[in-house]
Chain A
Amino acid sequence: MSSIEVKGLSKSWGEIEAVKNVSFVVPEKSFTVLLGPSGCGKSTILKMLSGLESVTSGSIKIENRDVTNLEASKRGVSMVFQSYALFPHLNVKENIQFGLKVRKVPAAEREKRVAEAANAVGLSDLLDRKPSNLSGGQRQRVALARSIVSDQSVCLMDEPLSNLDSKLRAEMRDEIRDLQQRLGLTVVYVTHDQVEAMSMADQIILLNSGQIVQKGAPEEIYNYPNSIFSAQFIGLPPMNILNLKKIDITDLSKENQKKIEISKNSINLGIRPEHLNFSKKGLPVTVKGIDYFGGETVFKISHSGQDFFLREPRQPKIHLDDKLNISWDPEDMHLFKKNNQRFTS
């Protein structure tokens, strides 16, 4: 069953089209990430889902109810804001129960629900604190508790982790994912961080300049990017894209040559850094940089003026300016056509 159904959604301000004809479905109790670079329209889409932004055209259905023109508070959604949007003059408890008071929930029930929500995010001991006396992670939890206490089945999150340091971000990632599964929430989560998207999402919707580039499970997008944009946005370092004109195909293995020949009009070859191997035969390259990260080593290598990356789990004895050869398996190779779309046979 689908929880959110978006059809042909567009948003424009005068001449500027921020969102162009976007359609997608968010299954119930799933975690969907809207991913894209800044200015791609992902936050605008979220705001339109929440009702804080009006829709230019298209429709939004939440739990089979058309909410396109319904006001924000009647849509049955809660939201976690990028800056948490905590009320600085209210303590944690008052912040959590703000919405309950507005909706005139009786005091006894309010107490119970606040206690449950605070417990779910581990804030029970901090209910009397003001937001200014909380750490970034704790403020984040208050925002989550406020969203949980509202008991709405759909929770929208707008880059909730972008103000935290990287260690805390990793912790909160697990926590949010865990919370979502425990409480059976339907989450739509906006981020520009592909690591968050890959690690949390059931479904990623990748956006660029107001349009959907690709949607699917993380593995699907990672393994079968439908375009150069997809291929390079996800993965770190991004997928290497090599111009086939600058490669002498006879350097490659027979299988690779065959695969390239089948796709006659492909002009670019894509290959992930971890799928490249140093080998005796293959494409000749020069080592131009070595970044050692402990668990892995990333080599910057160059072939006929094109720089790209190779990732090794170990630290082989290779030095700068060494001249080596690289090879890869044909199934790891992606081919892209002139219009930057994936070639499929």
Chain B
Amino acid sequence: MKDSVRNFQGWLLFAPAAILLLAFTHYPTITTFLNSLYTNKSVIRPRRFSGIEGYESMLSDPIFWKVFANNMWLALGTIPTSIGLAIIMALIVNKAIPGRGLLRMAYFTPTMLPMIAVANIWLFFYAPEIGLIDQAASIFGFESTNWLGSPSTVLPSIMVMTVWKEAGFFMVFYLAGLQTISPELEEASKLEGSSRWNYFWRVQYPLLLPTTLFVLINAFLNSFKLVDHLFVLTKGGPDNASNLILYYIYETAFAFLDISYASALTIFLLVLLALTALAQFLFIEKRVHYR
């Protein structure tokens, strides 16, 4: 066969993936980047090149800093807790206990629910006076709290819900990780007089490190990606106390119709997430794999 024909066939095979990737990832990324460098077009003013003005206004935008901080607090408040819970749940359902299958399913259920449905369930939990939490609290004589309505409690409330939603998902990875550890290792350490606790810290935990780092990265990315619940619960309020970057981008673009600034915010988020992913490839994959 001629080389040119073979090359053509090669390109044909490559085409489906390439077209999808170009059309839905690369092209939008580039247009977003270009949009961020131009002002918005309106009836009275034409579009003009503005360079990094969009990025400069981002630095001086207090709401941007607020939502960025919110996002970081959310990551900090949810990731360690959900990882800890995930490990504990995985250890429990990894044992031969009665009803193990049912328990595994129960732990995993929040993950299977769409975020919107989860938010609706929690909306009922958090509702002042009639909500589950307030009703339970009233039994012990606590006063009613507007969990989602006050700036001091709204972000922690969302964190609790996020942990509830995410821990089961991470548990699946830990369960898979635990099951790759040979049971003979446990027998060997038992024979050496190792306690359950010691076995966990000296053997299971180090062997789960690759899983932990994988989960860590995913949890970090998720903390920026998951905003569906804000539509149902708070719409970012009150006073942006629960607003997150992605929701802020949505608001800027589709509520305030400021495409240029929304594009700049998007590029910022993209770079942040790309750097995180890069960190995973370069640093973590090399360090953790002991095999």
Chain A residues near B (Cβ < 8 Å): 50-52, 72-74, 77-79, 81-83, 85, 87-89, 98-99, 102-103, 130, 132, 146, 150
- B191 and A89 contacting across the interface, CB-CB below 8 Å: no
Cα distance, A9 to B194, chains bound together (Å): 27
B289: nearest chain-A partner, CB-CB: A132
- Distance A73 CA – B98 CA, assembled complex (angstroms): 27
A105–B192 alpha-carbon span in the complex (Å): 12
Q: Which of these, A85, A98, A130, contacts B187 with CB under 8 Å?
A: A85
B184: Cβ under 8 A from any A Cβ: yes
**Can you list 17 residue pairs at the A/B interface with Cβ under 8 Å?**
A50-B191, A51-B191, A52-B187, A52-B191, A73-B191, A73-B192, A77-B191, A79-B191, A85-B182, A98-B189, A98-B202, A99-B191, A102-B189, A102-B198, A103-B192, A130-B290, A132-B290
Are the C-beta atoms of A73 and B188 separated by less than 8 Å? no
Pick the residue among A88, A98, A130 that contacts B192 (CB under 8 A). A98
* Interface contact A85-B290, CB-CB below 8 Å: no
Residues in A whose Cβ lies below 8 Å from that of B221? none
Residues A85 and B188 in contact, CB atoms below 8 Å apart? yes
Which residue of B has the minimal Cβ distance to A82? B184
B190 x A72 contact (CB < 8 A):
yes
Q: What residues of B have a CB within 8 angstroms of the CB of A146 in the complex?
A: 188
| Any A CB within 8 A of the CB of B95 | no
A73 touches B185 (CB 8 A): no
Chain B residues bordering chain A, tally (CB within 8 A):
19
User: When the two chains form their complex, are residues A102 and B194 in contact, meaning their CB atoms are under 8 A apart?
Assistant: yes
CA A79 to CA B291, docked complex, whole Å = 24
Chain B nearest CB: distance from A285 CB in Å?
49
1/0 per residue B199-236: CB within 8 Å of A? 00011001101000000000000000000000000000
Look across to chain B and name the residue whose beta carbon is closest to the beta carbon of A71.
B190
B46 at interface, CB cutoff 8 A: no
The chain B residue with its CB closest to the CB of A99 is B192
Q: Does B62 count as interface, using CB distance less than 8 angstroms?
A: no
Question: Which residue among B185, B191, B206 has the maximum number of chain A CB atoms within 10 Å of its CB?
Answer: B191
> Which residues of chain A come closer than 8 Å to B190, judged between CB atoms?
52, 72-73
Provide the bound-state CA to CA distance between A190 and B277, in Å. Answer: 49
Q: Are B193 and A103 in contact (CB under 8 A)?
A: yes
Residue of A nearest to B288 (CB): A89
Quick one: which of A51, A73, A81, A132 contacts B184, CB cutoff 8 A?
Answer: A81
Q: Identify the interface centre among A51, A72, A74, A89: most chain B CB within 10 Å of its CB.
A: A89
Report the separation of the CA atoms of residues A77 and B189 in the bound assembly, to the nearest whole angstrom: 13
Given known A-B contacts A81-B188, A83-B182, A88 and B291 have beta carbons under 8 A apart: yes
A179 to B182 Cα, complex, angstroms = 27
Interface centre among A74, A83, A85, A98 (most CB of B within 10 A): A85
A85–B182 Cα gap in the complex (Å)?
Answer: 7
A337 to B200, CA, bound (A): 57
Contact across chains for B185 and A150 when beta carbons are under 8 A apart: no
Asked if A85 and B192 sit within 8 Å, CB to CB, the answer is no
What 0/1 pattern do residues 106 to 130 of B give for CB contact below 8 A with A? 0000000000000000000000000
